[in-house]
Amino acid sequence: MLGMIGVGALASWATNNHWSQMGPGELAHFQAVTRSLVGVNLAQLAIIVLGVLVITGEYATGMIIASLGAAPKRTTTLLAKLTVFGVITFCVSLVSSFIAFVIGQQLLQSHGVGLGAPHAIRAIFGVAIYLTLIGAMSLGVGFAIRSTAGGIATVLGIVLVLPALQDILPTSWQPHTTPYLPSNAGSALYSAVPDPGSLSLWTGFFVLLAWAVAALALGLYLLKRRDA
């Protein structure tokens, strides 16, 4: 999570230094809150890798046998791992996003805002919720695929590659597909001012939650059907 803090600090410092060179369009769309939290894009990579590794690492070492032996009900095993990983991810992400916000606003100097600014607290908590749900989705994919490389590639493909591929779709399709991808839906949680065409806060939350639940449901289904 140090990367998230560092990237946010660098972005805020660079923005403050180049403020006088920014055009009217950039200034009109500038969001001080979001700028300090831009490191979430880097943090999600770490969460994806850790989320997959929590499960695939046990398959690689054979520890999954001990885990299933301690809790023969496989639903219990999945929920236990999800709870521990989710709580840790949320707490660490919340602290990191708060620190990133405070440091970023200090580096923005007169262009920064305080915690009392509209949507500031929501954005800080939104980062933590977003990363936790991305981690939960990664956990589910880890159970489903059981391969570290395959699991990481799958989640990265969904989170990073699919949005980039939207440009090849017919223009008429894009409003019905692009906003519902995990990274785009999740951005509604921490964007101080949502982009035109993006989902609302609660719609984005439930769409991202649906992705996480679907991945976990698939992981649980395959966990029950296969031997450890």
| pLDDT-above-90 percentage for the chain | 58
**DSSP character string of the chain:** -HHHHHHHHHHHHHHHHTGGG--HHHHHH--HHHHHTTTHHHHHHHHHHHHHHHHHHHHHHTHHHHHHHHS-SHHHHHHHHHHHHHHHHHHHHHHHHHHHHHHHHHHTGGG---TTSTTHHHHHHHHHHHHHHHHHHHHHHHHHH--HHHHHHHHHIIIIIHHHHGGGS-TTTHHHHGGGSHHHHHHHHH-SSPPTTPPPHHHHHHHHHHHHHHHHHHHHHHHHHS--
Examine the pLDDT at 228 and tell me if it is beyond 80. Answer: no
Position 158 scores a pLDDT of: 95
Q: What does pLDDT average to over the chain?
A: 89
Is residue 24 very low, low, confident or very high in pLDDT (cuts 50, 70, 90)?
confident
* pLDDT mean over 31-57: 93
Examine the pLDDT at 191 and tell me if it is beyond 80. Answer: yes
Examine the pLDDT at 205 and tell me if it is beyond 90. Answer: yes
Position 117 scores a pLDDT of: 82
Q: Tens digits of per-residue pLDDT, 48-93?
A: 999 999 999 988 888 877 777 766 688 988 999 999 999 999 999 9
* pLDDT mean over 11-21: 83
Q: Tens digits of per-residue pLDDT, 116-175?
A: 888 899 999 999 999 999 999 999 999 999 999 999 999 999 999 998 888 887 888 888
